[in-house]
């Protein structure tokens, strides 16, 4: 049976924190997430507008309903709001003995009180003693322990004070402490080195504590789980979703989606390679330096985000062959063409290079492909040829200085073909652009067949 994790906390109408962040985190880490909602908040990225706490009995009923039907592998608490709700939650976990992560949420990241003052003492006396681990940020640690936290030493002192309240462990999270987390147990402390990453942080505390609960449910040690949760939270921040006018929500499923997309891109490039190698006529399109075909993930920022053939496609007797496997980071030339293309059209994520020739350009015209070109003689001295050349060709294309109509008569955002006549020590080249590797490969095959047929129509 699949493992179930329980989140007890508030609902965030903006979808960035609270129960919503927890459920996404649980799913990203392979668990089914259940919830007991303590309050409905009206909030957005700018802050909390209203809080509507649920009756304590309704919170208790939700937890009991889940526990009566499923085994709870681990649980976490977030926003509890009132003393009455804290009491009901403590009653439940005292009876169940479920491994518990307590995230002592007090205020929303963007502003708004989420725990009443009179509830704090109950959190100290009844909830923290039940915790496998407590995960306060610096400000929450200060409120709980009345110790000012300004550096590593004082964070350790505050963590130790939380252990004295009865928790098995405490992690003073480091979003406000240079990205380092301080793990404290009865045996000592561990500084988990993190890093500050660019991105929105709405929901990062919820995401961290939910990830920690998930890793503990896997049976990991607290040290390993805390380090993994730190890394997971940072990844969620780096992939935050740009919505709203305040701090952007973190994206707990971003890394999982990117991994899935990378697999899809690898498979798509392999399909493109297969299409090319199955066509005997493709051999005549391979330039002296070899050909390559690549495709980028949707949010590519560097060559490591572009998959291509390692070692390129080359001539081997009467056939073409791939010198290596398809992997990310395998290409520099084609990758820079694709990255420059994406900067002008995010959908133009695939490309390949083929040999230059007047016969190739004639086939391009016959097929009605949009085309543009650049001259290496005009390249600025400090630029990289493929990046500059691609952008220059696209600029000319958009300005209408090169042929720019697709077969449908619609002006495209980037041309299907970019060519140049080379330069000193540089082979002239044609590059094909498209939305997918298989689509680009099919265009190359059509060009090759046109050449083989002497420009005669192909049936």
100 Cβ contact list (under 8 Å, min separation 6): 74, 75, 76, 77, 93, 130, 131, 132
pLDDT at 176 (0 to 100): 57
* Confidence label for 346 from pLDDT (cuts 50, 70 and 90): very high
pTM comes to: 0.86
410: pLDDT strictly greater than 60: no
234 Cβ contact list (under 8 Å, min separation 6): 179, 194, 195, 197
Q: What span, in angstroms and rounded, lies between the C-alpha atoms of 7 and 392?
A: 53
Q: Which residues of 306-316 are buried (b: 16+ CB within 10 A; e: fewer)?
A: bbbbeebbbee
Q: What span, in angstroms and rounded, lies between the C-alpha atoms of 459 and 453?
A: 11
Least confident of 201-215, 340-354, 441-455: 441-455
CATH among 3.40.1190.20, 1.10.10.10, 3.40.50.720, 2.60.40.10 for 4-252: 3.40.1190.20
401: pLDDT strictly greater than 60: no
Fold entry, domain 257-452: L-fuculose-1-phosphate Aldolase (3.40.225)
68: pLDDT strictly greater than 80: yes
pLDDT at 175 (0 to 100): 58
Q: What is the CB neighbour count within 10 angstroms for residue 142? A: 18
pLDDT at 109 (0 to 100): 66
pLDDT at 407 (0 to 100): 45
264-292 pLDDT, tens per residue? 999 999 999 999 999 999 999 999 999 99
pLDDT at 1 (0 to 100): 62
Strand partners, 306: 296
Q: What span, in angstroms and rounded, lies between the C-alpha atoms of 102 and 343?
A: 44
The stretch 67-91 carries a mean pLDDT of 97
402: pLDDT strictly greater than 50: no
Q: What span, in angstroms and rounded, lies between the C-alpha atoms of 445 and 422?
A: 23
363: pLDDT strictly greater than 80: yes
CA 315 to chain centre: 38
Q: What span, in angstroms and rounded, lies between the C-alpha atoms of 345 and 388?
A: 16
383: pLDDT strictly greater than 80: no
84 Cβ contact list (under 8 Å, min separation 6): 56
* Confidence label for 159 from pLDDT (cuts 50, 70 and 90): very high
The stretch 137-158 carries a mean pLDDT of 94
458: pLDDT strictly greater than 50: no
The domain ranges of the chain are 4-252, 257-452
Question: Token pair of 431, please?
Answer: 């590059």
% of residues, the chain, pLDDT over 90:
85
pLDDT at 160 (0 to 100): 97
The stretch 54-59 carries a mean pLDDT of 98
């Amino acid at each position: 049976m699949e493992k179930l994790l329980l989140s007890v906390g508030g609902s965030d109408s903006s979808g960035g924190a609270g129960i919503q962040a927890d459920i996404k985190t649980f799913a990203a880490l392979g668990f089914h997430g259940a919830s007991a909602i303590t309050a409905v908040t009206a909030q957005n990225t700018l802050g909390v507008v209203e809080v509507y706490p649920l009756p304590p009995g309704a919170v208790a009923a939700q937890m009991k309903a889940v526990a009566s039907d499923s085994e709870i592998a681990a649980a976490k608490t977030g926003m509890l709001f009132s003393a009455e709700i804290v009491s009901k939650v403590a009653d439940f976990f005292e009876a169940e003995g479920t491994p518990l992560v307590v995230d002592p949420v007090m205020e929303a990241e963007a502003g708004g009180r989420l725990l009443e003052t009179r509830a704090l003492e109950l959190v100290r006396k009844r909830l923290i003693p039940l915790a496998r681990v407590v995960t306060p940020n610096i400000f929450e640690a200060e409120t709980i322990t009345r110790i000012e936290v300004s550096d590593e030493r004082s964070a350790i002192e505050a963590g130790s004070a939380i252990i004295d309240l009865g928790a098995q462990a405490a992690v003073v999270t480091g979003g406000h402490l240079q990205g380092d987390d301080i793990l404290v147990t009865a045996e000592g402390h561990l500084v988990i080195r993190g890093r500050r990453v660019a991105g929105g942080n709405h929901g990062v505390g919820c995401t961290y504590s939910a990830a920690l609960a998930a890793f503990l449910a896997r049976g990991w040690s607290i040290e390993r789980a805390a380090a993994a949760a730190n890394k997971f939270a940072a990844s969620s921040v780096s992939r935050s979703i740009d919505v709203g006018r305040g701090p952007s929500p973190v994206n707990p499923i971003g890394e999982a989606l990117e991994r899935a997309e990378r697999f899809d891109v690898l498979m798509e490039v392999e399909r493109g390679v297969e299409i090319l190698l199955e066509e005997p006529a493709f051999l005549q399109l391979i330039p002296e330096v070899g050909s390559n075909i690549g495709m980028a993930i949707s949010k590519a920022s560097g060559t490591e985000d572009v998959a291509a053939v390692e070692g390129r496609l080359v001539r081997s007797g009467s056939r073409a062959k791939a010198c290596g496997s398809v992997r990310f980071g395998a290409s520099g030339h084609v990758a820079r063409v694709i990255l420059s293309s994406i900067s002008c059209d995010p959908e133009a994520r695939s490309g390949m290079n083929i040999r230059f020739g007047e016969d190739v350009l004639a086939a391009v015209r016959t097929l009605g492909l949009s085309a543009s070109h650049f001259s290496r003689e005009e390249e600025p001295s400090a630029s990289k040829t493929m990046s500059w050349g691609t952008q220059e060709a696209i600029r000319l294309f958009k300005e209408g200085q090169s042929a720019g109509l697709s077969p449908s008569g619609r002006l495209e955002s980037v041309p299907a073909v970019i060519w140049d006549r080379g330069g000193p020590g540089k082979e002239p080249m044609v590059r094909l652009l498209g939305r997918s590797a298989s689509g680009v490969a099919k265009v190359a095959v059509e060009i090759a067949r046109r050449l083989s047929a002497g420009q005669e129509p192909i049936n």
